[in-house]
Amino acid sequence: MRPVSSWGRLSAEPHQVVDLSDIAALVDQTRGMGPAIPLGMGRSYGDACLNPGGSLLNTARLDRFHSFDPETGRLVCEAGVQLRDIQRFMLPRGWSLPVIPGTQIVSVGGAIANDVHGKNHHRVGSFGHHVRNLKLVRTDGQAIDCGPGVNPDLFAATVGGIGLTGLIATAELQLQPVAGPWLDTEILPYRSLDEFLTLADDSESLWEHTVSWLDCTAGRRTRGIFLRANPAVDQAGKPPVPSRRAVPVTPPLSLFNRLTLPVFNTLYYHLNAHRGGTKRRPFDTFLFPLDDVQDWNRLYGPRGFYQYQLVVPRDAGPAALRDILDIIAKSGQGSFLAVIKTFGERASPGLLSFPMPGITLSLDFPNRGARTERLFVELDAVVRAAGGRLYLAKDARMPRDLFDAGYPKAPELARFRDPGMSSGMSRRLMGH
């Protein structure tokens, strides 16, 4: 047994870590095992990838490509392959993953199990929309193929199913053709939530990628930076090699507090507003800026941090977001990484998929114990009243009634669950 943390570093409880490396031996290795939960790159922020006192099925060494068809863009690979490795191999060959979240350091299995989304959800939907097939290994010794056309109900339970239907061993992904690594980008400062919504609506039909940072310390009188990008028509030139940085130690206290946060946010706003306008940038620099900062989660100190990502329907969204920003401003617990985006209309493929048509807001909060929990109780009430939900990949403390209200298809998952699979999250939200 050894201590394992998720990305939020809120706990480090003992786990039995089972390293998997031989795809042919998975059935024998996992048969009869439990309680267990698959572990990819550990980039879930809360307890979706943790199983205190139980086993973690570590897929990091299941990292091989099995086949690729350069005519159709179909890739078959093992679950532990990182999205970054797919991009590095495929981009020079004219192909790309259609969907990547805010980091490329995510395994294929984790991307499916959390049905992750990217900054282009309004164009292409979520990761699960581009999975053509997968092989699921269950602890009763079965190995089952499923996909949109084969065992579709089990597939819908597995996409976004946070690892509870079994271990994803391999997946067949549909890649999309790309001209190269360059994006034509535009950065626009804005001075209100209404201005953000206008920019988002105007951009969705014309821009491939859209996202925005906002300053949540000023309540509903917020300001922000809107970013949008399209693949560059002229792809000439080799992108620069990113400069890697690292946070070498964990500071004794969070660097984001009542005193420093307004300073960080003011500097960030004015720096980016000054740099606004159009510019050609490499796709990874624009889409995944934090991937170049190793262990950035240490900046929140030894007590770790929560990420609170919500989505609310578009009709109720503006009013709900104004209330949320007011609550955060009054609490004095603002977030530096406050990211807001609109989701498109495409229905999500999984029973527990997070995206739905509306507005999503993602916030990081240093763990300040009961004070932070009281803030979340207030935010939960707004999300619940607006008919929204919280993102399971980010959650570490959602109350069960909010889960039940936000995920009405959750009871359907029960008949597809692998009895040998259990996580800290499943016990907290589902009772087992």
Task: Calculate mean pLDDT across residues 112-123.
Answer: 98
Lookup: tokens for 38: 């698959």
59 contacts: CB under 8 Å, gap ≥ 6: 20, 38, 39, 40, 78, 79, 80, 107, 109, 167
**Residue 380 — left, alpha, or beta (φ > 0 → left; ψ -120 to 50 → alpha)?**
alpha
- Do the Cβ atoms of 410 and 432 come closer than 8 Å? no
pLDDT at 209: 98
- Do the Cβ atoms of 358 and 321 come closer than 8 Å? no
3-class SS string, 412-431? HHHHHCCCCECCHHHHHHHC
* pLDDT at 243 > cutoff 80: no
pLDDT at 256: 78
Task: Provide the sign of the torsion angle of the four alpha carbons 142, 170, 108, 172, taken in this order.
Answer: negative
State pLDDT tens for residues 391-428.
Answer: 999 999 999 999 999 999 999 999 999 999 999 999 99
> Which of the four pLDDT bands, split at 50, 70 and 90, describes residue 267?
confident
Task: Calculate mean pLDDT across residues 336-348.
Answer: 94
Cα 127 to chain center, whole Å?
A: 10
Lookup: tokens for 299: 């900046």
- Do the Cβ atoms of 245 and 252 come closer than 8 Å? no
225 or 262: which leads in pLDDT: 225
145 CB burial (10 A radius; 0-12, 13-18, 19+): middle
Share of the chain above pLDDT 90, in %: 85
State pLDDT tens for residues 8-47.
Answer: 999 999 999 999 999 999 999 999 988 999 999 999 999 9
Q: Return d(Cα 230, Cα 183) in angstroms, integer.
A: 5
- Do the Cβ atoms of 46 and 10 come closer than 8 Å? yes
Lookup: tokens for 106: 């995510």
> Which of the four pLDDT bands, split at 50, 70 and 90, describes residue 271?
confident
Q: Return d(Cα 113, Cα 165) in angstroms, integer.
A: 9
End-to-end CA distance of the chain: 21
Q: Which residue has the tokens 């206008």?
A: 198
- Do the Cβ atoms of 57 and 167 come closer than 8 Å? yes
